[in-house]
Structures are given as structure tokens and as C-alpha cells.
């Protein structure tokens, strides 16, 4: 991947899901070293259980050493369209399936150092087919009311940025 504003680019790290590119950006007086996390992109899904309820998950996150309240989400696989990832991750993480997902919005998660773009989808008319977790995932599924979700956001109980962005976008869209 090429970053036109980054000069003297070098691959510093290649992992299973991400890579890190280093290089310099021009300042007013000197060059500054920068790193860019290269990410394939991801999806987040807002599963509407019924008019009053949403399906959320409690997801154990080793990077922050916490179990977080989240909407189901996942990383795009090579040659996989975002809507396909959304359909796959919905079943894997929640056990619910839908015939189609509707795009809500797309946004950069941390553009100061990462190129990850997150595609947010709405899932309705859900049918339970059984959770299909990956071996390392520890996820519990819960159905929460919109009233409780609003309270959890206001109290800081929901800390995951992609989840907050998607929930608030849906609640307050014009």
C-alpha cells in the first residue's frame, strides 16, 4: 500500500491482520518519523431484535484487559465485500441471521495512525440459527432495550467507540 504523504516508506511489521509502515512526513522545518497501521477494514452490525430492543454482546478484549459491551463486528477477509463480512460476523458472534443488511455509515476509526475504515450496517428481521464463535472468542449475547442502551452510553458503561458511533448515528439520524 502506498501513502503519498509519507516519504521513504518501509515495512516495519507484517502480522496476521495488520501491517505497520514507517516513513517521514514533511514539516515546516524538518522531517518527522511516522508509523501507519495498515488494516484491511472492518464492519459493525446493529442487530435490531424488535422495535424496542437491540442485540448486543459482551466481548472479552485482551488489548484493554476488559470485557466490553459492543455491537457485533469483525475484520474483512481478503476478497470479501463489507456486506458479506457483516452477514458472516452477525451469525458468528450473535447466532442470528438476516437475509440482508442495510448500510448506515462508514468512518475511520483512528485516522491519526491507522487507515482502518469501518462500515456500519443495520440488520433486521433476524432469525436465530446458533452462534458460531471462533476458537479464541469469548462472547455473551444479550438483548437490551433502547432505554437501557441510552443510559449505558450516558453512564460510560459502553466504552467502545465504534459501538457508540453506530448506536448514536441510528438514534439521531435525520
Q: Report the top-level CATH class of 42-172.
A: alpha beta
Percent of the chain with pLDDT over 70: 99
Query: What three-state secondary structure class fits 93?
Result: helix
In the chain, domain spans:
7-38, 42-172
34-63 residue pLDDT tens: 999 999 999 999 999 999 999 999 999 999
Q: Is the pLDDT of residue 174 over 60?
A: no
Q: Is the pLDDT of residue 120 over 60?
A: yes
* Residue 163: HSE in the Cβ half-sphere, 13 Å Cα cutoff: 23
**pTM: predicted TM-score of the whole model, two decimal places:** 0.94
91-104 residue pLDDT tens: 999 999 999 999 99
Amino acid at each position: 500500500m502506498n501513502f503519498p504523504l509519507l516519504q521513504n516508506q518501509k515495512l516495519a511489521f507484517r502480522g496476521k491482520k495488520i501491517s505497520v509502515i514507517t516513513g517521514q512526513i514533511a514539516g515546516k522545518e524538518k522531517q518527522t518519523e511516522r508509523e501507519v497501521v495498515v488494516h484491511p477494514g472492518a464492519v459493525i452490525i446493529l442487530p435490531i431484535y424488535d422495535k424496542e430492543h437491540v442485540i448486543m454482546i459482551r466481548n472479552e478484549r485482551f488489548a484493554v484487559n476488559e470485557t466490553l459491551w459492543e455491537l457485533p463486528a469483525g475484520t474483512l477477509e481478503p476478497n470479501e465485500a463489507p456486506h458479506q463480512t457483516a452477514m458472516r460476523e452477525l451469525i458468528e458472534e450473535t447466532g442470528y441471521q438476516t437475509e440482508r443488511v442495510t448500510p448506515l455509515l462508514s468512518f475511520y476509526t483512528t485516522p491519526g495512525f491507522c487507515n482502518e475504515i469501518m462500515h456500519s450496517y443495520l440488520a433486521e428481521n433476524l432469525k436465530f440459527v446458533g452462534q458460531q464463535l471462533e476458537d479464541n472468542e469469548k462472547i455473551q449475547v444479550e438483548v437490551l432495550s433502547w432505554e437501557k442502551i441510552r443510559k449505558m452510553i450516558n453512564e460510560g458503561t459502553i466504552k467502545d467507540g465504534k459501538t457508540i458511533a453506530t448506536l448514536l448515528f441510528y438514534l439521531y439520524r435525520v
